[in-house]
Structure 1
């Protein structure tokens, strides 16, 4: 079963163009949707999950027409939104059982088996009788995955799942996502590049509602080999270098600014070639799209 999105567009009543001619083909496994805040990721996830309508385009999940058959989609969908609320005075076991009823698991014995198995899978069994209000952020996210797995969905969407998690919980959550992404489509929507490089065999970069790149992260990195250059500059020099070169990123280290430049050829004295990362791919694609948009606005 594949998820096929073709020429999807969405503009909100206030004039914001959230999606513009988005086309993606997503096979089973972990798929990363990478983009900055406001890029259109959540709009795309909400459209796929039938929470909002598109202006034009189509989405098919296997034989299901997602935009015209929302009830069919919901039967095979698991969704963890960016803002996942819980009832603070209800235990994890109680609320998960309630969600299981809503998912249509009516047999009490079967429901208990499913709930217990998910609590074990998400490492929440020991805290199953604890009120959700006392859960840490990471525990709440794992509970969110548990409810998303109810009904053995064929498509799972997780929207910014690791934002705000400490490193330990983030690693635990990564392991859980990797486990559940082996035999179904899991779309990981995030602005954290390392989430995609750690987990996903396929990904897309989206910005301002448009898909800028789609493919294999390792292939994307290899395509950038020999094109990323680094140099240390002073803070006062940064603006000058940004005018002269295609500076795709800058960061402070030990009081100095380290810049990465995207260039086919050696940019000049003082630059050294570095091994590209997925972060370089991401910044280079975003930077190139913004340059094109800036040139178009001048025309």
Structure 2
């Protein structure tokens, strides 16, 4: 099973070019789509999820064209959007049962088994009678995954699912998605580099509507190894260094900026070589 995106473009009525000739091949497993806010990730996710049409290009799930087979695609699609609302005064069990009916699971016994299994799978069974309004952010996200899995999807899309989660909930979410990805195409859209590093064997970086890099995270890191240098500087020196070097990242440590630069040769001037990270790969693409 493979998802093929071919020369996809989308321009909104206000003139914003959200997608520009995006082409990707996404196999079964966890695929990370990494990019800053406003890069076009959500536009691409909504287009794959049949919620809007592209201006040009096409998307195929195996040989099935998504744009002309929306009803069929929706039967095998699970989607957790960035903004996922719940009815706060309904319990997880009742609302999940309601969603199951909407997805065509009409046999009561079958529906009961599926709902119960998903509540166990997402570790919500003990809290199934609790109103969703009392759920934590992580519990709501796990409920969102439960509803997305009701139809046993071949393709699962999760858009910025870990934003706002504490480390414990994030790890729980990682484990859940990894299990699902063993038999499913899972597209994980995020601006958090750590998410991709922990989960994805394949990835792409999107910026300003264009795919600027694609590949396997470990291979992309290896391609940058030997080219990243670090130096601690004064805050007042930052702009001058940006004019002299290809500064891909700057962050504070003990109140002083540490900059990372990319250079094919040793820059001297107090810079020391450091092992490349996926964060360096990411910032080398969006800050150039």
Q: SS in structure 2 opposite 1:187?
A: strand
Q: SS in structure 2 opposite 1:162?
A: coil
Alpha-carbon distance in 2 for matches of 1:255, 1:196: 28
Partner of 1:167: 167
Gaps of 5+ in 1: 289-299
Alpha-carbon distance in 1 for matches of 2:213, 2:101: 40
1:129 aligns with 2:129: yes
Q: SS in structure 2 opposite 1:151?
A: coil
Give TM-score, length-normalised by structure 2. Answer: 0.99
Partner of 1:101: 101
Q: 1:84, CA displacement in angstroms?
A: 0.1
Partner of 1:180: 180
Partner of 1:2: 2
Alpha-carbon distance in 2 for matches of 1:140, 1:30: 21
Aligned length: 288
Q: 1:159, CA displacement in angstroms?
A: 0.2
User: Which stretch of the first structure deviates more once superposed, 63-72 or 211-220?
Assistant: 63-72
Partner of 2:138: 138
Alpha-carbon distance in 2 for matches of 1:266, 1:161: 39
Q: 1:70, CA displacement in angstroms?
A: 0.7
Q: SS in structure 2 opposite 1:188?
A: strand
Q: SS in structure 1 opposite 2:151?
A: coil
Which string of whole-angstrom CA distances, capped at 9 and with x for unpartnered residues, describes residues 92-141 of structure 1?
00000111111111110010000000000000000000000010000000
Q: 1:269, CA displacement in angstroms?
A: 2.1
Q: 1:287, CA displacement in angstroms?
A: 2.2
Partner of 1:64: 64
Alpha-carbon distance in 2 for matches of 1:81, 1:14: 23
Alpha-carbon distance in 2 for matches of 1:163, 1:82: 9
Structure 1 runs of 4+ with >2 Å offset:
none
Q: 1:208, CA displacement in angstroms?
A: 0.4
Partner of 2:147: 147
